[in-house]
Amino acid sequence: MKYVVLSFLTVGFIFSICLGGAAADDNQKLNVLFISADDMNCDLSVYGNPQVKTPNLQRLAEMGVRFDNAYCQQPLCGPSRASLMTGLRPDTLDMHTLKHELREKNPKVVTLGQMFRDQGYFSARAGKIYHYGNPSMIGTDGNDDPQTWDQRFNPVGIDRSQQEKITRYGAGRQNDKNLGISMAWWDPISRDEDHTDGMVASKIVELIKQKKGEPFFLAAGFFNPHCPYVAPKKYFDLYPLESIEMPDLEAAKKDLEDVPTMAVVRDKKNWPYYFKDVSVEEARKCKQAYYATISFVDAQVGRLLDALEEADLMEKTVIVFWSDHGYFLGEKGLWYKRKAFERSARMPLIIAAPGLSKDVATQKPVELLDLYPTLAELCGLDAPRNLEGASLRPLLADPKTKTWIKPAVTQVWHNRKSWGYSLRTERYRYTEWLQGKAGRELYDHANDPEEINNLADQDQHAVLIAALSKQLQPFVRLKLEKRPK
């Protein structure tokens, strides 16, 4: 009998460690380094675009799993980040805009960092995790949630303090207040640490050193590559302007011929590039600047990885890199986010977890709200029972597992008369605008990864569309006051 009891305890201990669970003392709990970028798409060398240099994200991917088909719940900073940090969909939170209303509408919600705090972790962030107006709210708490953190840090770099030096195009040429959505750039001769994101990295490096003896949840929230596109000149120099290619506008215009009007309702007025009177060459400069800011963020990620290595914490830390949504850079003549196309809904996601898969990728569709249950399971914590995502641990253990069949759902909401939902399976993207009343889209990613040909009106796909529509319906839970009267 004594032997049976000992065996049971041994098995239980091993099971706890395999899950990354907490053992008896804090030294055996897994830490979490939670790294975010703002508006970063998958134009990255780590995702197969050799032009855009991201060696440190490649380094991270070699330590873990790259998710090739990861999607946000809404391609807009505020609702996307609130959804990720609560594990709940925008409809559940009733959050679809940039308003600061998380606790107002959901006073009892337990956020991701709050869960870690409640269960013995030190929880802190530097920079942007919840929504911030960028750059207007840099240096403030923005739309942050105090209950998530033990400590919060809001550095201010020259990208904010000297923003009058930023070059503006289009509607923002003479408008200092319009930088939050702008075609604008600046390439100062400066140090990384002169910029807000460099300061964010420095603070997290400091906290890693200070807190290495206790379990921590540390969030590094980088503001780049969100516009205005500002980074030290050395990162711009990585991308000679003549090497930056722009999509042909005649072909781009044809791409939109079979798309429902509502799909690009915000983009049609001043097409292309969103703003009136932006030239192709000005857009090219902004694309160069966007790539420069990506490499700037990548360098800061490298500093964080170095700090973990120096503190001997690599085997004790789950590392997550994510962006809140994707981004258009002239494809289809479009710019920015807030669209249901792949380039807007998809973003990079990389997870490195001790004892699980390394240097592999998965093609399974996953969602940002899956991160909450994933980190709870890996760290052996009790998560709220109402989470709407699913733990990614099965994919971290076996990226090709056939048991993962969950689709990804992204929604777009402009106003009560303009909204839609998009479902992504391993092969297809299917979108309904006003539940099909304002149009549908169907793209076959096996043959059309750029979503050029909308198949929704072709009779041969009627059965498939009916099946995908039925699969999508349970996710359409927008409140009546946000629908047409």
pLDDT by residue (tens digit) across 239-282?
999 999 999 999 999 999 999 999 999 999 999 999 999 999 99
Over residues 426-470, the pLDDT tens digits come to 999 999 999 999 999 999 999 999 999 999 999 999 999 999 999
Q: Evaluate whether residue 78 is within a structural domain.
A: yes
Which residue, 55, 65, 13, is CA-closest to 370? Answer: 65
Q: Evaluate whether residue 220 is within a structural domain.
A: yes
Q: How far is it, in rounded angstroms, from Cα 400 to Cα 188? A: 45
Domain extent at residue 316: 31-397
Residue 16 in this model has a pLDDT that exceeds 90: no
Q: How far is it, in rounded angstroms, from Cα 208 to Cα 149? A: 15
- Percentage with pLDDT > 70 across the chain: 93
* Bridge partners of residue 319, in order along the sequence: 33, 352
Q: How far is it, in rounded angstroms, from Cα 128 to Cα 117? A: 19
Residue 67: the pLDDT is 98
**What's the rounded mean pLDDT across residues 195-209?**
98
Residue 405: the pLDDT is 96
Report whether 430 contacts 263 (CB < 8 A): no
Residue 230 in this model has a pLDDT that exceeds 70: yes
Q: How far is it, in rounded angstroms, from Cα 433 to Cα 456? A: 12
**CATH code of the domain in which 231 resides:** 3.40.720.10
Q: What amino acid positions are annotated as catalytic residues?
A: 77, 131
Residue 166 in tokens: 């930023």
Residue 225 in tokens: 């590559």
pLDDT confidence band for 27 (50 / 70 / 90): low
Q: Evaluate whether residue 76 is within a structural domain.
A: yes
Do the strands 122-127 and 408-415 form a parallel or antiparallel pair, or are they unpaired? unpaired
Q: Chain-wide mean pLDDT for the chain?
A: 94
Residue 235: the pLDDT is 99
Alpha helices in 212-339, H assignment, sequence order:
233-236, 249-255, 280-310
Total domain count for the chain? 1
pTM of the model: 0.94
Q: Evaluate whether residue 312 is within a structural domain.
A: yes
Q: Evaluate whether residue 20 is within a structural domain.
A: no
Q: Evaluate whether residue 112 is within a structural domain.
A: yes
Residue 286 in this model has a pLDDT that exceeds 80: yes
- Percentage with pLDDT > 90 across the chain: 92
Q: Evaluate whether residue 207 is within a structural domain.
A: yes
Over residues 83-107, the pLDDT tens digits come to 999 999 999 999 999 999 999 999 9
CA distance to 52, 177, 191, 220, per residue, from 160 (Å)? 25, 12, 15, 18
Report whether 74 contacts 411 (CB < 8 A): yes
Q: How far is it, in rounded angstroms, from Cα 302 to Cα 53? A: 13
Which residues have a Cβ under 8 Å from the Cβ of 162 and sit 6 or more positions away? 188
Over residues 322-371, the pLDDT tens digits come to 999 999 999 999 999 999 999 999 999 999 999 999 999 999 999 999 99
**What's the rounded mean pLDDT across residues 127-155?**
97
* Site of tokens 């209950």: 147
Over residues 170-200, the pLDDT tens digits come to 875 555 567 999 999 999 999 999 999 999 9
